[in-house]
Amino acid sequence: MKISDRDVLLVIDVQNDFCTGGALAVPGGEKVVPAINRIAQKFDNVVLTQDWHPRDHVSFAPNHAGRQPFQTIELDYGTQVLWPSHCVQGTAGAQFHRDLDVTRASLVVRKGFRRGIDSYSALFENDHRTPTGLLGYLRERELKTVFVAGLALDFCVRFSAEDARKAGLQVVVIEDACRAIDLDGLVAATHQSFRELGISVVSLEAFL
């Protein structure tokens, strides 16, 4: 696969709390790191995202009396999964995995920092209206194709890929540079959504 200067690698939430031993560990989460580091060498444009929550964030189950992680509540923007407290601003859990090569990144997008709304997507918060600023960055630099990798495939990778595609960008998900939570069969739903939207799914081999 030939990478051009109009392509960007979008690396989603490769943070300690999403890796083994973290507060919201994605199974095998840290295993994406070598693949991402290898792929990133081929890109002139690399963007990292970072979950960056306040301690009193609305998505944290401990902030709702009687609620348990992975239950859902209804908020004004729709259904919200309640998560264990994770990626709290300034904590070790919010830091990027120590082996992730961050030196190639031209931008770090922090998301989920507003107390009252969660942010899965790198482009919009969960109301699908409040922008993170990334879409403007991509358009200003005339970046046309977004390659997405990171954590977790069925949440933040999926929402980021979908929003980028709906914004008119070409989108490619590098599946073996992602790992999934697979909450209630969401991986199958994710693949179905990708097919419907015309989001390509490729393997690491495409870059070798």
Write the pLDDT tens digit of every residue in 80-104: 999 999 999 999 999 999 999 999 9
Burial class (CB in 10 A: 0-12, 13-18, 19+), 152: buried
Q: Which of 63, 70, 45, 62 is nearest to 184 (CA)?
A: 70
The answer to whether the peptide bond before residue 92 is cis (omega within 30 degrees of 0) is no
Q: Cβ(151)–Cβ(29) under 8 Å?
A: yes
Q: Cβ(61)–Cβ(43) under 8 Å?
A: no
Architecture of domain 7-54+86-207: 3-Layer(aba) Sandwich (3.40)
User: Which token pair is 36?
Assistant: 């991402």
Q: Is 2 a catalytic residue?
A: no
Domain boundaries, the chain: 7-54+86-207
User: Does 208 score more than 90 pLDDT?
Assistant: no
User: Does 183 score more than 90 pLDDT?
Assistant: no
pLDDT number for residue 184? 85
Q: What is the pLDDT of residues 44-60, one digit of tens each?
A: 999 999 999 999 999 99
- Active-site annotation holder among 19, 87, 156, 178: 156
Q: What is the pLDDT of residues 133-153, one digit of tens each?
A: 999 999 999 999 999 999 999
Find the mean pLDDT for residues 128-137.
97
Q: Is 144 a catalytic residue?
A: no
Q: What is the pLDDT of residues 12-43, one digit of tens each?
A: 999 999 999 999 999 999 999 999 999 999 99
- Active-site annotation holder among 7, 111, 118, 178: 111
Q: Is 31 a catalytic residue?
A: no
Q: Count of H helices and E strands in the chain?
A: 4, 8
